[in-house]
Structure 1
Amino acid sequence: MSALQFLGYKVMQMKYERNTEFESVKEPISLEPKMTTKINLEDNNINITLSVVVGSLEHKNIPFQVSCSIIGTFVYKTDEDTTKIDLDTLIRNNAVAILYPYVRAIIATLTTTSNEFPGYNMPTINVSKVLAQQDKKRV
């Protein structure tokens, strides 16, 4: 059994906004998802907020901006942690990775139901690696 038990998630925010300044282009559109996390630890209870923004309203070559924020609830069972992995590593590598497919599905649904542009399916990724790269860029 895993030391990290997933209790579920709640959608805190989801939004699709069309870019009214969008000008159609022939080349592929680059939509780079930007992820942020916020971790709240209270004893063995962990709440993780995963937020993703895709697209932009500031660039004429991007048709939309879509965002989603969810909070996942986990319980850390110390007595079942046989790996003795650092809790921060466990959260970054496992908990955030558990939440990512839910955000990915919400983003795909929002963009598909816009009925104007093709739906956007966020790539499958190594979540901890992407977050580490984003942390390096902020420094």
Structure 2
Amino acid sequence: MAAINFINYVVDTMYYKTNPEFDIENNKDITIDEDVDAHINIIDDEETAIITLRAKLDENENVPFSFEVSIVGYFEFDEKESDGIDFRDLLKTNAVAILFPYLRSIVSELTGKSNRFPNYNMPVRNIAREMSEKNNIKITD
């Protein structure tokens, strides 16, 4: 058994918009820098959590499209298996890392459906550390 158990996830938001102002001829080297954030809601006597993980790219003249994708993940905590590690710490690191591949996959599929631009594959990275450094993880009880 593990201290944190991933129950399931559901897609909450999928939004995609092609940028009509994007000049593909003068923008050969596209750099996409999406924002990723998480909202963690701890419920049921600190034994259950709901995490909303979101990736968002705002439209601007340097990107061919904009998008927003959010997923909601459900987790349970087993204190006996935690070795003294706080539930919040597990959620900010492990739970976010568990959800990130699902979010990446949805963004890739959604952006590829335009049939105008190739799929955008969000880079693999230590998303929990990145979000912590940017203060993009919020926790509520």
Corresponding residue of 1:46: 49
Please list every run of at least 4 consecutive aligned residues from structure 1 whose deviation after the TM superposition is greater than 6 angstroms: none
Relative to the length of structure 1, the TM-score reads: 0.90
**1:126 aligned partner, one-letter code:** N
Percent of aligned positions that are identical = 37
The residue number in structure 2 matching 1:64 is: 65
1:89-112: per-residue Cα shift (whole Å, max 9, x none)? Answer: 211110010000001000000111
C-alpha separation between the residues in 2 aligned to 1:41 and 1:88?
8
TM-score by length of 2: 0.89
Report 1 or 2 for greater relative contact order, CA contacts < 8 Å, sequence distance ≥ 6.
2
Determine the structure 2 residue equivalent to 1:81: 82
Partner of 1:135: helix, strand, or coil? coil
Cα 1:33–1:26, aligned 2, differ >3 Å: closer, same or farther? closer
1:19 Cα shift?
0.8
1:15-71 Cα shifts (integer Å, max 9, x gaps): 1111111112244111012111111111201000001113x32x2221101110111
Give 1:126 shift. 0.4
- Aligned partner of 1:131 in structure 2 is 131
- Whether the 8 Å CA contact 2:27–2:62 is kept in 1: the answer is no
SS at match of 2:135: helix
> For structure 2, which runs of at least 5 residues remain unmatched after alignment?
137-141
- In structure 1, stretches of 5+ residues that fail to align are none
Q: Which residue of 2 aligns with 1:118?
A: 118
* SS at structure 1 position matched to 2:134: helix
Q: Which amino acid is 1:2 matched to? A: A
Compute the RMSD of aligned alpha carbons: 1.4
Letter in 2 for 1:39: I
**Alpha-carbon distance in 2 for matches of 1:26, 1:9:** 36
Whole-Å separation in 1 of the counterparts to 2:86 and 2:101? 24
CA distance in 1, matches of 2:101, 2:71: 11
Relative to structure 1, is the Cα distance of residues 26 and 63 closer, same or farther in structure 2, using a 3 angstrom cutoff?
closer
Q: Would you say the 8 A contact 2:111–2:118 is kept in 1?
A: yes
